[in-house]
Amino acid sequence: MPLLAAIVLAAFAPQLARAQAATAAGGAIKQQAAAAADSVAHVRADAAAAIGQGASDAAGTVAQQASSAAGSLAQQSADAAAAAVPRAPAPLKPNPEFADFPRYAGTLGSRRIVLRLGNKTDDPSGVHGEYQFADTGEVVLVAGDREGDVLEIEESNDGTTITGNWVGRFSADGRLAGDRMNVDDSDPQPFDLRPLTGPSSTP
């Protein structure tokens, strides 16, 4: 090697070594940066997946809660609607308390009935009892007053609501005749009943 070239090479050897080292360091830094970027990308992807799964789970929970709440509200609405529908009262049955009362048989309008009517124990002029239709067995309660031979009573087919009024008169032979009317005194229907004797029985 010529002497001048050797001198130049010797003079620039440290700079060359530093350049080579810098190049190697730069490569290592680039490799580390790429690895770091890849790691960050994986972390971001994992985080996004976790967030997506969490959001999906949260959405599923909210949807389940909403469905449960809607079902509960629907059930409450159904229960409220069922409660709002009035139930038909149970049919009345003959009251054993009236079984030994005086009985009167005959017609109310065109239907045959048996009336059981007796005095109240707590009211000297008060009477109460029931009548029963021969064709259906339906029982209707009655209560009111008797003044001499005049009878005024009210009736109820459920034991609570007044469904009609009776105004009648007893004759000397014990017969009872008059009119049964609605609560507003409309649609009068005649009744004609004769007293019965002997064992009590249903119509």
Does residue 67 sit in the same domain as residue 114? no
What's the whole-number mean pLDDT along residues 184-195? 97
d(CA 113, CA 138): 10
Domain that holds residue 38: 1-85
What's the whole-number mean pLDDT along residues 25-31? 60
Q: How many C-beta atoms lie closer than 10 Å to residue 115's C-beta? A: 25
Does residue 75 sit in the same domain as residue 110? no
The reported pLDDT for the residue numbered 124 is 85
The reported pLDDT for the residue numbered 8 is 42
In degrees and rounded to multiples of 5, residue 180 shows phi and psi of: -105, 130
Residue 123 is assigned to a structural domain of this protein: yes
Q: Report the SS3 class of residue 9.
A: helix
Residue 125 is assigned to a structural domain of this protein: yes
Does residue 73 sit in the same domain as residue 101? no
Does residue 130 sit in the same domain as residue 75? no
What's the whole-number mean pLDDT along residues 30-37? 61
Dump pLDDT digits (tens) for 178-188: 999 999 999 99
Count structural domains, the chain.
2
Q: Which of 46, 63, 85 is the last residue before a domain boundary?
A: 85
For the chain, the farthest-separated pair of C-alpha atoms sits apart, in whole angstroms, at 170
Residue 24 is assigned to a structural domain of this protein: yes
What's the whole-number mean pLDDT along residues 13-36? 58
Does residue 108 sit in the same domain as residue 184? yes
Residue 1 is assigned to a structural domain of this protein: yes
